Amino acid sequence: MAPKPVRMAVDGKEITAAPAGDGCWTLTSDAGIERVWAVGTSERSWVFHDGRVYVLENRASRRGSRGHSISNTLTAPMPATVRTVLVKVGDEVAEGETLVVLEAMKMELPLRAPKAGRVAEIRCAPGELVQPGVTLVELS
Amino acid sequence: MFRRVLVANRGEIAIRIIRTCRELGIESVAVYSDADAGAAHVAAADRAIRIGPAAPGESYLKADAIIDAARQSGAEAVHPGYGFLSENAAFAAACADATLVFIGPPADAISRMGSKIEARRLMSGAGVPVVPGEAPKDQTTAALLAAAERVGFPMLVKPSSGGGGIGMREVYKREDAEAAFDAARRDAEGAFGNGTLYVERLVRRPRHVEIQIFADDRDEVVSLFERECSLQRRHQKVIEESPSPAMTPELRQAMSEAAVAAARACGYTNAGTVEFLLDESGEGTRFYFLEMNTRLQVEHPVTEQVLGLDLVRAQLMVAAGQGLPWRQDQLRQRGHAIECRVYAEDPASGFLPQSGPLWLYREPAGPGVRVDSGFREGDTIAVHYDPLIAKLIVSAESRTTALHRLERCLREFPILGIRTNVPFLLALVRHPDVRAGRLDTGLIDREIERLVAESTPADPVPPAVAAAASLADTNRRSPTASPIGDDPWTTLGGWRN
């Protein structure tokens, strides 16, 4: 049985969403008929609309991330290989000093200290493949 | 013809070569690194052989591992694709030593064209116009300065080795020349271990127009006419088209003759591209030899669409000693073709390469639409390699209709889960200078802020997007369920970029 269209309101405007295939929707409103593609997880949704891409975080995960301090840690922004670690435990570092150099897709990516401090822990080694969000260096 | 061919590459070009092999009844052998064990090119081939770990230096660039794989599989020939080992003369020679046919030019033609100074000397001798310039034997600052004065200002200082614009410097005044020589020499020594420099006249706002040539071992050389590749970002081509909006029949004839002379001068066989700068300043249009690419180019489909032929098929035929499948008088351009390169990169953060999953990947289709892709929905773009996802090629009866078709296709090319340059390409295709065909190699870098601004998401988020986002959460697993169910009039909001 074909899935039923969904009626909803966005900012006071009525929109009817009809499924148009896996991940694709036909939306009808006063603005006309628009085709959108969307996928998502519990944290964020990706939407393709008229040649542009929107990455939207949902409210629940936004609440969860608020207040989380990142200032003591250096994390990987993308999947990458650790090329060099320029500091050792106990080093005093200045804000903005390069601590680790990552390499991804033939590009070097220097990671800098978010603030001044002492290196408390190093959690990566040259040659290691790291995933986004993984802590590489801990400052105290 | 060969019975079995090893394809020493990955991604879209490996798949593209495998498809032609299948049409010719040739068995294809793919090679893969550990990161690519489940890749689309492995699935596309008749058989596949592991060649090493993920790092290119330990797999796709490792000549002996590839030659071992070819031997082990019983392949008679190796197609290198582009990049990796395609312009490595030592690899071409090693294939010959292992009695494997290298599908490309002879090793000595590759090495002759690999040095810019040597290529320049060879081309001048063959009567191919080169940018007025000098490569002084005496590399002292005084001798370079004297050469610069003979060439005239503004001028360009370039290292003899290497590429990608490394070490190149524009010099507008005599008093800035000395500092530019020192800096260029330092860069060239650091990057290529060779500080040899040459100076040439700076062509302002040039177009990049290249001629596709093809040569066989029976002394036939043909021109497959031009591709214009002026739309580049930092020397990296973004959009290519044919015919060039700047072309006239007389200029096409002259450039074709020069390109064929270039191929003959270096003893070329198989597919090659002679790149030229087009100088439209002053009276008339002049063209100058830039370099020769001794391989199949990324943008070769543009030529295939406009001429209605298969360049990889011709490569296999020529390598197998069967000669060229066409004569010059059978080759005609018809209509217009445009290619754009879809990259996993984020224009909003300085075009940083992206890696991650293709949660949703749907290619546009329709008449005159070709997508050469290396990935499928559900695949992951790995960090180790070039971030090219696919090439979108459209063809139509005129440049205007081709541009409309390209715009339509980009609006119907959803790629979700990873950032891509699709919105940027759309902004570029809509730019008035691109529409009008007023192209030069600096256009993208000059207009970059405007183009990036036009490719960022609309703010506030359009209602359709907010609605779709709410439908997306569970959509992948169960298309019938939505987070708000069938409950009408649920008020949404609170979404942010």
Strands A13-19 and A6-10: antiparallel
B110 found inside a domain: no
Average pLDDT for chain B: 92
Contacts of B32 (CB under 8 A, 6+ apart): B10, B39, B41, B42, B48, B49, B50, B51, B59
Question: Contact at 8 Å (CB) between B67 and B100?
Answer: yes
**CB nearest A51 (choices: B410, B491, B497):** B410
Instruction: Search chain B and give the residue with CA nearest A22.
Output: B479
Check whether residue B403 and residue B471 sit in a common domain. no
Check whether residue B347 and residue B213 sit in a common domain. yes
* Cα torsion angle, B407, B411, B413, B419, sign: positive
Helix residue spans in B308-437 (DSSP H): 311-319, 399-410, 422-430, 432-436
In this structure, which amino acid lies at residue B399? R
Using CA atoms, how far apart are residues B197 and B205, in angstroms rounded to an integer? Answer: 23
B125 found inside a domain: no
Residue B236: CATH number of its domain: 3.30.470.20
Check whether residue B276 and residue B409 sit in a common domain. yes
Check whether residue B238 and residue B297 sit in a common domain. yes
Total domain count for chain B? 4
Mean pLDDT across the stretch B361-374? 97
Q: List pLDDT tens digits, range B445-486.
A: 999 999 999 999 988 889 899 889 888 754 444 333 333 333
Neighbours of B449 (CB within 10 A): 8
Q: List pLDDT tens digits, range B209-244.
A: 999 999 999 999 999 999 999 999 988 999 999 999
**Domain boundary at B154, B171, B201, which?**
B201
From residue B164, alpha-carbon distances to B158, B159, B241 in Å are 11, 11, 21
Using CA atoms, how far apart are residues B297 and B237, in angstroms rounded to an integer? Answer: 11
B121 found inside a domain: no
For chain A, how big is the Rg over CA atoms in Å?
22
Using CA atoms, how far apart are residues B210 and B288, in angstroms rounded to an integer? Answer: 10
Q: How far is CA B67 from the centre of its chain?
A: 25
Mean pLDDT across the stretch B336-351? 96
Work out the percent of chain A whose per-residue pLDDT is above 90.
29
Check whether residue B74 and residue B164 sit in a common domain. no
pLDDT over 50 (residue A70): no
In this structure, which amino acid lies at residue B192? F
Check whether residue B241 and residue B265 sit in a common domain. yes
Write out the two tokens for A85.
């670690």
B126 found inside a domain: no
Using CA atoms, how far apart are residues B253 and B258, in angstroms rounded to an integer? Answer: 9
B394 found inside a domain: yes
ipTM (interface predicted TM): 0.86
For chain B, how big is the Rg over CA atoms in Å?
24
pLDDT over 60 (residue B430): yes
Query: A interface mutation test: which of B383, B389, B461 has the most A CBs within 10 A?
Result: B383
- Greatest CA separation found in chain B? 82
**Domain boundary at B171, B201, B231, which?**
B201
Using CA atoms, how far apart are residues B157 and B448, in angstroms rounded to an integer? Answer: 25
Using CA atoms, how far apart are residues A83 and A100, in angstroms rounded to an integer? Answer: 8
Using CA atoms, how far apart are residues B487 and B497, in angstroms rounded to an integer? Answer: 26
Give the domain extent around B484.
Answer: 462-497
Residue B81: CATH number of its domain: 3.40.50.20
pLDDT at B472: 77
B291 found inside a domain: yes
**CB nearest B354 (choices: A58, A59, A78):** A78
* Cα torsion angle, B35, B38, B40, B42, sign: positive
**Domain boundary at B161, B178, B201, which?**
B201
Closest-CA distance, B27 to chain A, in angstroms, reads 31
- Give the residue among A96, A53, A77 at the shortest CA–CA distance from B353: A77
Taking each continuous run of H as one helix and of E as one strand, the counts in chain B are 17, 24
Check whether residue B139 and residue B268 sit in a common domain. no
Q: Give the B window 366-405 contacts with A, CB below 8 Å.
A: 383-387
Write out the two tokens for A90.
């106990």
**Structural domains of chain A ordered from first start:** 6-65 (no CATH), 73-139 (2.40.50.100)
Check whether residue B195 and residue B247 sit in a common domain. no
Check whether residue B223 and residue B343 sit in a common domain. yes
Mean pLDDT across the stretch B422-440? 98
Check whether residue B86 and residue B181 sit in a common domain. no
Check whether residue B393 and residue B418 sit in a common domain. yes
Q: In A, which residues are within 8 Å of B456 by CB distance?
A: 52
**CB nearest A54 (choices: B383, B386, B497):** B497
Per the listing, tokens 């029949």 go with B249
Work out the percent of chain B whose per-residue pLDDT is above 90.
81
pLDDT at A94: 87
Q: List pLDDT tens digits, range B138-168.
A: 999 999 999 999 998 999 998 877 666 778 8
Check whether residue B215 and residue B184 sit in a common domain. no
B272 found inside a domain: yes
**CB nearest A11 (choices: B383, B414, B493):** B493
Helix residue spans in B164-206 (DSSP H): 177-192
